[in-house]
Structure 1
């Protein structure tokens, strides 16, 4: 099968790259404290001009609705404008304090939930919009007229009432957001939404081809190694775009995974044999991998486990010493991990219709997820029997789920998952022994681990 031209390769890759970039932009805008307020501010300016023209064109037609003397309207609008900009400063202060508390008490990685709070963004937008609308309305009030512009002043009052209501809602919400249970619920929900897409879905990625045995050696002849162009975390990647960037009959090996950290200049993708147009292929491959300054939940299931684990580790630290929160983390992990170990993961070697093979040796499997979920927690939970017990029960529950008769004979993947769970069970018991638990406590721990 002959090599495709650069234009043909680009045509195949472009739709997948556009989807990646659209999702990345949407995620960035969702975490922006500027985007929605800026839109609302622009809308308030447009409305101010529009209502001003309506008041001038239909002078007196709306005077039966609400009427203010020009001097009263000027005073009222000035007070509202001053109050709104002052309140905006207070709201920003509350947000900063919330971020500091959440970062110090739980984990810096949970802050993205506060940035993405749509109600907070709308409140800031309302405050800025009300301020801008009132300032522009002041310029339209003529003290020589018998009455102030009815529509303009009336809409300013509506914005003020809406802002006051939004402040009350925001204060209620920000106080509830600080509760660790709600933070964990949000993280667990985001993670389970990604798990529900496995093995293929709108965010996880489309099916590339049929599973095959990985070639050994990958392919004859020299290959093309494409290096990372920047440092950062792999936030998203499109496997279909990576495969489409290579000529038919190629073997493409992904040297990284979603959630991994890339160092500029290190191998990111290797293609055998070397394409006829390596420059175009390298550019298209780099476009198919989105690298950013932080991990996100766009495709990264492991990042959800990392956030929950971080909250538990912080709770078990001597500075915080909150075993109850650590227990709640373990229970949330149980909900997430049961879905994850029973879900099908994409194959690590697939062949597409154009005889291109994609190898993803570094993609996480169920055994990797088990280790990432429990490895650190079980080490720091060892001195706390009240935490070790639910941790062991969670592992036993997952082991039972993997070996359920209705699933049929153990597959190699489920066998590896069971082995990983057995290893974590054994290490947890060993850690409890080293921690010097009382004989009665240790007997309970060993009994639970043994099932």
Structure 2
């Protein structure tokens, strides 16, 4: 199987809810015959009394217990999947549809508990059907009781976990954690106080060969960089991946530029090193975490929802991600082989791209909210204080635009002065100094004198 197909299959399985219950079915198919053989062996050895067993249940009691467990697990499964469908609809409508595949369906706790329910249901149903009219299979009943108790505990835990998991603060924090992991994997080098060197595309001139997208159109999800470097080294050429991870690539659009003697490179094998799909994933796409957080903030700021506090929570995570990105080297990724020669060029977002996506849309939609304006200012000023100097220009532009937007949104001087105060909580978490209070207090005095 080609690498791109393996990657797409792995990504699909990781975001599919049915995979863990299917694994639970396979485990049941192995565990159940083993427990039956162990139960027969224990009875033959005399270590297990077939009448009293571990629980001392009669046939009527055992059937009642196992039957109750079957009914309970069936109810647990119906409730879990029904509630999950409702949660997906609510999360997609209130936050953003992009968290469904990246966050909700990839949660291993939800998938693991659903697998436990499936396993217990199958095990209990088999135990109930295997019992005869006079023989109680004590070991199977005992194991069923253990798994039944575990299912009840897991169900109660799932209710509490899901209620906390679907809160805005939990969702944005999880997206932030995923974004941190992607940034660390894509941008491994630390930045310095010296700006990155200019791009070298013009020095390479016209590519000797262009490899175009074949098969189907889609979004570039990931690239196998190790194999690209190996192919480029063997052929003695430089391979440039034309789109950026996360870009939409149509059929016949350029996918690779090859510099040098590229006759030994097979197009099909080269294209097989690029995974293309319908929806962006986060594995090699650091910008996607920013996109999800910004979408959550924009949805919260919409007139239909009107929840600026959730927007502030999203800005918290954007601030966190920008601090991480600002300390990394973001110039065009030139990947060298073991001899130190550049073999692969991979375009990645630069600092301005991250700053624009983090602030522009939120400022346009949320400048009228005092707490959003204050949280944006706090984030920008903190980044200016903590990041290297060559990161400041883009941040200063955003600070200037924020000031202009605030002036246009707040006609009252008291509101304008309040909106200009940086506040990490949005509204209520800062200590205003005398200069910040001077304008509103003076305006208040003028208004009071006017009333008099």
Q: Do both proteins adopt the same fold according to a TM-score greater than 0.5, normalized to the shorter chain?
A: yes
- The match for 1:11 is none
- Report SS of the residue matched to 1:216: helix
How big is the shift at 1:161? Answer: 0.4
Task: Establish whether residue 89 from structure 1 lines up as the match of residue 78 from structure 2.
Answer: yes
CA distance in 1, matches of 2:240, 2:199: 13
Alignment equivalent of 1:261, drawn from 248, 255, 276: 248
Q: Deviations over 1:154-196 (max 9, x none)?
A: 1111110010010011001011112111111111111122233
How big is the shift at 1:333? Answer: 1.5
* Contact residue 301 and residue 307 of structure 2 kept, 8 A: yes
Task: Establish whether residue 124 from structure 1 lines up as the match of residue 114 from structure 2.
Answer: yes
- The match for 1:231 is 217
- The match for 1:152 is 140
* Contact residue 200 and residue 346 of structure 1 kept, 8 A: no
- The match for 1:10 is none
Label 1:448 to 1:36 Cα distance change in 2 as closer, same or farther (>3 A): closer
Label 1:220 to 1:325 Cα distance change in 2 as closer, same or farther (>3 A): closer
CA distance in 1, matches of 2:94, 2:378: 27
Task: Establish whether residue 184 from structure 1 lines up as the match of residue 172 from structure 2.
Answer: yes
How big is the shift at 1:440? Answer: 3.4
CA distance in 2, matches of 1:350, 1:137: 59
Label 1:370 to 1:215 Cα distance change in 2 as closer, same or farther (>3 A): closer
Label 1:249 to 1:432 Cα distance change in 2 as closer, same or farther (>3 A): same
Alignment equivalent of 1:401, drawn from 370, 381, 386: 386
CA distance in 1, matches of 2:398, 2:198: 31
Alignment equivalent of 1:62, drawn from 9, 32, 48: 48
Per mean C-alpha deviation after superposition, the further-off stretch among 341-350 and 380-389 is: 341-350
Structure showing greater relative contact order (alpha-carbon pairs closer than 8 Å, 6 or more residues apart): 1
CA distance in 1, matches of 2:99, 2:148: 32
Task: Establish whether residue 309 from structure 1 lines up as the match of residue 298 from structure 2.
Answer: no
* Contact residue 224 and residue 272 of structure 1 kept, 8 A: no
- The match for 1:104 is 93
- The match for 2:448 is none
* Contact residue 348 and residue 363 of structure 1 kept, 8 A: yes
- The match for 1:41 is 25
CA distance in 2, matches of 1:221, 1:110: 39
- The match for 1:113 is 103
* Matched ranges for 1:432-443 at <5 A: 432-443=406-417
CA distance in 2, matches of 1:213, 1:383: 39
- The match for 2:393 is 419
Label 1:221 to 1:49 Cα distance change in 2 as closer, same or farther (>3 A): closer
Q: What stretches of structure 2 of length at least 5 have no aligned partner?
A: 190-196, 424-435, 437-452
Task: Establish whether residue 214 from structure 1 lines up as the match of residue 214 from structure 2.
Answer: no
Label 1:354 to 1:396 Cα distance change in 2 as closer, same or farther (>3 A): closer
* Contact residue 385 and residue 437 of structure 1 kept, 8 A: no
- Report SS of the residue matched to 2:98: helix
- The match for 1:8 is none
Size of the aligned set, in residue pairs, is 409
Per mean C-alpha deviation after superposition, the further-off stretch among 156-165 and 116-125 is: 116-125
Q: What stretches of structure 1 of length at least 5 have no aligned partner?
A: 1-13, 202-210, 404-409
- The match for 2:371 is 386
- The match for 1:52 is 36
* Contact residue 199 and residue 346 of structure 1 kept, 8 A: no
Label 1:85 to 1:261 Cα distance change in 2 as closer, same or farther (>3 A): same
